[in-house]
Chain A
């Protein structure tokens, strides 16, 4: 079992450019989370999916961030356009269901905006 797979691992882009992150959760996990972790901080939730439905996106900056989870499996998080302050590690996690307390995390994508 590979666990939660994220790609790319690292991404460097210039400000105002678009960027996308991809996540493949553990097979059978219905709940998928995207977190952002700024340097020196703990992860902060951006969005949570139950199957293909975004059930909690209250902390997603919707002016430039978007996410989708087609067919309730893989998910993509996009930023357009990126700003310097978006530099962070973007973590994807999945769990069997919303009430299941253990979330399994991917390795993360480290984004640097220059």
Chain B
């Protein structure tokens, strides 16, 4: 079974402070990991995926297989980063995305 855990329901940080949104997963094989974001009154959209090893809007995430984690990080938070963030996993050979419960990031001006 595959499972995604986001331990924080809400994370508040000041503008300019570093951000780390935690994501831990449970999966026996080699998963694909993703971060999705939902801004207020907008649709859910892909932010980044681990296989791309890219930085989007200043966010990065590194897959740590030893710790089964895929934390999302940004060195300096901006007000426009305030949103719901969902970590998601797709198992090898599976077409199903399993989402975490989400973390609401609030950036305080």
Contacts and interface: CB of A to CB of B under 8 A. Distances in A.
B101 A45 contact: no
Tell me what chain B mostly uses at the interface: helix, strand, loop, or mixed.
Answer: strand
A107 B43 contact: yes
User: What bracket does the count of chain A residues touching chain B fall in?
Assistant: 20 to 34
Contact of A42 (B45, B88, B90): B88
B103 to A, nearest CB: 10
Contacts of B51: 101
Interface residues of B, number: 20
Tell me what chain A mostly uses at the interface: helix, strand, loop, or mixed.
Answer: loop
A42 B86 contact: yes
B95 A44 contact: no
A106 B43 contact: yes
Interface of A: 3-4, 31, 40-45, 48, 56, 91, 98-99, 101-108
